[in-house]
Amino acid sequence: MKMVTNFSWTKQWYPVTPVSYLDPSHPTPITLLGKRLVIWRDQEEKWIAMDDTCPHKLAQLSLGKITEQGTLMCRHHGWCFDSAGKCTHMPMLRDEKALATACQSERSQVIIYPTQLLQGLLWIWPDSSSTAFADSTAKEPAVMPEDQVEHSGNDWFMSEVPVGYTVSVESSFDPSHAQFLHEGIAGFSPERAIPIEHFALLGEISGEAGFTLKHSGYNIFNQDMDATRQFIPPCSNTTVYKYANGKSAWFQLYFVPTKPGYCKQIGKFILPGAPAKRNFWLKLLPKYLLTGLQHASSYKLSNQDLAMMHSQTVNEAVEEQTWQNSYFLPAVADFGIVTFRQWLDKFAGGKPAWQGVTAAAFPELSDEQLYDRWHRHTKHCPSCRQSLLLLTKIQGFCQGFTAISGILALLLIVINFPLKIVLIPVLLGILNLLCFYRLESICHRFISSIPQRGLPVVKLY
């Protein structure tokens, strides 16, 4: 099939991060379509996106800082840039005329990109042409209906995984895999799987508007369900499950191509109804800690996805064949995969249009690289980072209290206190030591899925 590219990958709105994941006091580096960008907030509280390269000596601007004047300063030599990408200061130029000339030069400018905030996400239009800002106003981002946003009490979850964009999006149009790949989680089981009997396209496939699919259930629990999956290019999949009892569930997913072999996945699940009541004691804990612990305990399902999709990405790189020749898709359940691949081939050149980088064969990663939670999620998520810092501090307190308890027990023995009294600091020390090791295990969950002790093998099932 001949590839055509009337779909522009750069003239699109991409959700690059939940706003809650950003720190307004520091610049944040991101990668989009292979292009390295820096995000920062100016004095007017507007989020700015620009190339992450200082025109002086090509240092990363994301390593810099935001000044009191509301500019972004490069750490290398102190060059400062305003929200329009114009250089405003070069400390090594004292002569005002020379400084003005240098700052007015096009060579001292940094390219900026259109941004906007919608539904708790920061969106970027990664086109560097002179008409980018005008073009961006003619297209709306693929957001959820506003009435569904009202039902959403939970924040967005974001993770950047070592899996390509194509495989990531394709998997979201393949619902039948859940019964097998996620066996043992949320009631999924091969024994409960049923064949999808109906999977069809609603309307036509469009380069800009994408497509909408409708399908029936795939397990004994949702066999009476009607599901719709709408793909709005370049990265939105809005899935709605409607059940016979009138209940429904929404799944909003975004798959943002960051660089070859990597994809940023942003998602939110919406289940209309009264929010679940939290335990009284849990209410006493900081919200960020509850969120962090929830994130840290939910990696098993995503590890299963990651393992399978990574193996597929590696095998596709070795095959060197078109998907039509390498895939065998005989079931109705495969219709979603075929439809997405057809859209990609017919309108978008078969793959993302990488900017300034060349896609190479993706290497097979070690388990340490594949199941690295720090780079995948924790370093991006403020709740997980704060939780890790708090737990580390408590761990340090436990360690110190254990030492103090031991010293106190020795002193009581020396001055000949009764054994019952001596046992008190001993037991407290043992208790704190156990807490220390338990906290060490919990802290490790934020860093890696590889077990801290024993065999370095990730248990997927």
Pairing of strands 28-32, 35-41: antiparallel
> How high is the pLDDT of residue 154?
76
Domain boundary among 88, 114, 136: 136
pLDDT, one tens digit for every residue, the chain (461 residues): 444 457 999 999 999 999 999 999 999 999 999 999 999 999 999 999 999 999 999 999 999 999 999 999 999 999 999 999 999 999 999 899 999 999 999 999 999 999 999 999 999 999 999 999 999 999 999 998 877 666 666 789 999 999 999 999 999 999 999 999 999 998 899 999 999 999 999 999 999 999 999 999 999 999 999 999 999 999 999 999 999 888 999 999 999 999 999 999 999 988 766 555 667 677 788 999 999 999 999 999 999 999 999 999 888 877 778 899 999 999 999 999 999 999 999 999 999 999 988 877 788 999 999 999 999 999 999 999 999 999 999 999 999 999 999 999 999 999 888 888 989 999 999 999 999 999 999 999 999 999 999 999 999 99
Residue 213 lies in a domain: yes
Residue 394 lies in a domain: yes
Q: Are residues 98 and 156 in the same domain?
A: no
Q: What DSSP string runs through 239-253? A: EEEE-TTS-EEEEEE
> How high is the pLDDT of residue 276?
58
Domain boundary among 329, 364, 399: 364
Rg value, the chain, Cα: 26
- On whether the CB atoms of residues 50 and 111 are closer than 8 A, the answer is yes
**Could you list the residue range(s) of the whole structural domain that residue 169 is in?**
146-364
The whole model's pTM is what? 0.92
Residue 375 lies in a domain: no
Residue 374 lies in a domain: no
Q: Are residues 258 and 400 in the same domain?
A: no
Q: Are residues 174 and 305 in the same domain?
A: yes
Q: Are residues 160 and 269 in the same domain?
A: yes
Beta strands in 20-155 (DSSP E): 28-32, 35-41, 47-51, 65-66, 72-73, 80-81, 87-89, 112-113, 115-118, 121-124
> How high is the pLDDT of residue 127?
97
Q: Which residue type sits at 202? A: L
> How high is the pLDDT of residue 299?
94
Q: Which residue type sits at 303? A: N
Residue 163 lies in a domain: yes
Beta bridge partners of 250: 240, 270
Q: Are residues 266 and 306 in the same domain?
A: yes
- Token pair, residue 430, equals 């043992």
Residue 42 lies in a domain: yes
Q: Are residues 287 and 220 in the same domain?
A: yes
Q: Are residues 150 and 115 in the same domain?
A: no
- Token pair, residue 35, equals 């292009």
Count CB neighbours of 168 within 10 A.
Answer: 23
Beta bridge partners of 158: 266
Residue 341's CATH number? 3.90.380
Say how many domains are in the chain: 3
> How high is the pLDDT of residue 64?
97
Q: Are residues 30 and 129 in the same domain?
A: yes
| Distance between CA atoms of residues 115 and 103, nearest Å | 24
Please name the residue that has the structure tokens 């259109």: 114
Residue 356 lies in a domain: yes
